[in-house]
Amino acid sequence: MASDIFSVDGRICMVTGASSGLGAHFARVLAERGARVAGASNSGADETDDAPILHLHCDIRNATDVAAAFDAVEREYGAVDVLVNAAGIAQFERAEALGDSAFAEIMDINVNGTMRVTGEAMKRMSAARRGGSIIHVTSVLARKTVSGLSAYGGSKAALEQMTRSQAAEWARHGIRVNALAPGWFPTAMTQQHFDKGLDRLLKTRIPMRRLGAPGDLDGALLLLASEASRYMTGTVLTVDGGFSAGD
């Protein structure tokens, strides 16, 4: 049955950035569909307390933290089958005003941190000899420019190239690497700017004339996390209401 193809029941999943925003939503969606989910985060906030999720503290800038998080998942559930890299930060600042420290922080978390977690996942998936699925959460801003987000867009563009390179290198281990690129969604990261009227401007540039709702990403997430995408790797799935196709 088609529904069985998209099943994640019993899969062992780790989601970074799982305490809030899209990361919290992804962790909840996987858990509600029968996956055994570990949510890794460096934040004190948590939007997943109502779901059966193993909560882990993990600063993805720290290799010791990352290894300890995987150790904890393996003790509780076993080897990770699915990794969703949703941890990330953004800073709205024009390129000429963006200081070295702010730029370095964005790259350290969005690119270096993701690479650190992904490298650890690859080693463990390879050792377990079960293959696996790695999903990088990127953004339409990897390919579509918006003033004030050059560093963020650059970091997400790096993740998309990382997706393709890792997919080519790790396919022989049965590890698939794909990316999910959301468009504009209300989250803690974006809400303050939507409150200032950015949402009204964006809706004029989105062909479907609305912002995304978290549930709009569920199908793409389940596709990439399940056997439905067993012959997909190196792919970027865009879910943006047509924003990247517009002017």
* pLDDT single digits (tens) 97-121: 778 888 899 999 999 999 999 999 9
141 has a pLDDT exceeding 70 = yes
Place of tokens 């989601």: 15
54 has a pLDDT exceeding 90 = yes
Q: 70 Cβ partners below 8 Å, 6+ apart?
A: 14, 80, 120, 121, 124
45 has a pLDDT exceeding 60 = no
Known catalytic residue at 152: yes
Q: What is the pTM of this model?
A: 0.93
CATH code, domain with 177 = 3.40.50.720
**Using N-to-C axis directions, what is the helix angle for 114-128 and 150-170, rounded to 10°?**
20
Distance from chain centroid for Cα 218: 12
Taking only the tens place, the pLDDT of each residue in 151-199 is 899 999 999 999 999 999 999 999 999 999 999 887 776 666 666 666 6
Domain residue limits at 182: 2-239
In a domain, 246, yes or no: no
Catalytic residue among 6, 26, 152, 170: 152
pLDDT band, very low/low/confident/very high, at 93 (cuts 50, 70, 90)? confident
- Tell me what pLDDT residue 159 has: 97
- What is d(CA 61, CA 6) in angstroms, rounded to the nearest whole number? 32
Over range 2-26, report the average pLDDT: 92
How many domains does the chain fold into?
A: 1
Cβ atoms within 10 Å of 80's Cβ, excluding its own: 25
- Mean pLDDT taken over the chain: 90
In a domain, 247, yes or no: no
In a domain, 45, yes or no: yes
In a domain, 245, yes or no: no
In a domain, 244, yes or no: no
pLDDT band, very low/low/confident/very high, at 206 (cuts 50, 70, 90)? confident
